Amino acid sequence: MTDKLIPDGFRRLDVTDEFVNLIGPLWYKAEGERLRVGLPLEPRHGNPMGWAHGGLLVTVADMVMGVGSGHATGIRWPHPTVSLSTEFVRGARLGQWLEGTARIARRTINFCFCSCDLICGGEIVLVASGVFKVPDIEKIPEAMRAKVCTVGPWRDSATASYWSKWLNPTRQSSGSTIRSSGYWSAMRSRNATASAASNATCSFSTSTVSCADSDRAWM
């Protein structure tokens, strides 16, 4: 019954979060820079009044923006919630499809500033905003880095090629060898100085981030 509610083109979003797995699974569909995330509302999601529980809506909004931040940064690793604000607009009826898409207002070296609307039955049922921490690549287990920062369910081969240049343990630049651990530390130091001076958001394009010449990076 609920499978019929899932729109065409959506794929299961596999997460290791046990709490999210209790309410899920969640489903996603990448559309360019947008990542739609949702789930069919089942009887187990309801409150005593027969509507979707408010806690469920808040959890879904949190996931929409957290996963959306990962889609924006290209890092398929948890982006911890720093702050979250929600407003309930109307009830979400059980037996319908619920979904949202993160809007990234700003990305800095360390944070994503997001908002989203949850839609159910063609109407907004909840509006939310939040701040999410961009994970420190150095703190991701080295064996996992290439997997979570290269090609994945919502990334393309061009993205994979870009990430591979940054995640190799040893990279070549202008005839010199750059080691990973020292490189990340040096880049964070340079980024902090550049960010403080310009108060600008970081750039994620390959044209402004290069191993040989970079004032900002995606870290």
Tokens of 204: 């994620």
CATH topology of domain 2-133: Thiol Ester Dehydrase; Chain A (3.10.129)
Separation of alpha carbons 90 and 49, rounded Å: 13
| Percent of the chain clearing pLDDT 90 (strictly above) | 46
Q: Report whether 130 contacts 82 (CB < 8 A).
A: yes
Question: How far does CA 150 lie from the centroid of its chain?
Answer: 14
Sequence ranges of the chain with CATH classification 3.10.129.10: 2-133
pLDDT of residue 170: 43
Residue 207 has pLDDT above 50, yes or no: no
Length in residues, the chain: 219
Residue 179 or 13, more confident: 13
DSSP-based three-state secondary structure for 122? coil
Residue 53 or 155, more confident: 53
* Mean of the per-residue pLDDT values of the chain: 75
Q: Give Dmax (Cα) for the chain.
A: 68
DSSP-based three-state secondary structure for 16? coil
Mean per-residue pLDDT for 50-66?
Answer: 95
pLDDT of residue 159: 42
Separation of alpha carbons 144 and 113, rounded Å: 26
Rg of the chain over Cα atoms, rounded to whole angstroms, equals 19
Closest CA to 104 of 201, 191, 27: 201
Residue 37 has pLDDT above 90, yes or no: yes
Q: Mean pLDDT: which of 27-36, 160-169, 173-182 is highest?
A: 27-36
Cβ-based burial of 69 (10 A; exposed 0-12, middle 13-18, buried ≥19): buried
Tokens of 99: 């979904």
CA angle 140, 141, 144 (to 5 degrees): 90
101-134 per-position pLDDT tens digit? 999 999 998 999 999 999 999 999 999 999 999 9
Confidence of residue 44 (pLDDT cuts 50, 70, 90): very high
